Amino acid sequence: MAKKTIVLGVTGSIASYKAADLVSGLTRKGFEVFAIMTKEAAEFISPLTLQTLSGNKVYSGMFEFVEEWDAKHVSLAKRADLIIIAPATANIIGKLACGICDDLLACTLTASEAPVLIAPAMNDVMYNKRIVQENIARLKKIGYKFVGPKKGRLACGDVAIGCLADVEDILKEAVKMAR
């Protein structure tokens, strides 16, 4: 049986460092993992970390120079058996809910028919904001699955809802969805 492929989208959150544990866990479970990082995510974790753990190139720019022509957002979208966004910021959730395709991650998601698992991570005020909750509800209505967030210590120091779900919980849901 061929390996299942997961495209992992990593967005700009302090929780981005947990993407390393997620990539490691997914590869241990036998998945082939390709990461797409937003430019903001690269401020928190190095693409080299995810490349080393996945054994695959990490993608970020829509217009990166490539040796052979390949519309990356389309080829990654077609190859994906599952797309996970972890951590998912309010920004990417809003883009997806509105169909905005202004970066590689948003374009790949829009071009794919694979199931999508979103693990939000953001400040509690942002998470509870009416527009963010409406965007989440809109994505759930079209079939996107969510895991978390959980209550914990946020980057601002408050203890509230908004922390990325435990990596083990994201892995469990990914295994269920990728079957």
Residue 35, pLDDT above cutoff 90: yes
List all residues 6 or more positions away from 69 whose beta carbon is below 8 Å from its beta carbon.
none
Buried b (16+ CB within 10 A) or exposed e, 129-159: eeebeebbeebeeeebbbbbbeeeebeeeee
How much is the pLDDT for 78? 81
Is residue 156 flagged as an active site residue? yes
What is the DSSP code (8-state) at residue 99?
T
Q: Angle at the Cα of 33 (from 28 to 39), degrees rounded to 5?
A: 130
Categorize the per-residue pLDDT at 1 as very low, low, confident or very high, splitting at 50, 70 and 90: low
pLDDT interval class at 76 (50, 70, 90) = confident
Choosing from 98, 101, 107, 156, the catalytic residue is: 156
Residues 6 or more apart whose Cβ sits within 8 Å of residue 22: 8, 84, 86, 167, 170, 171
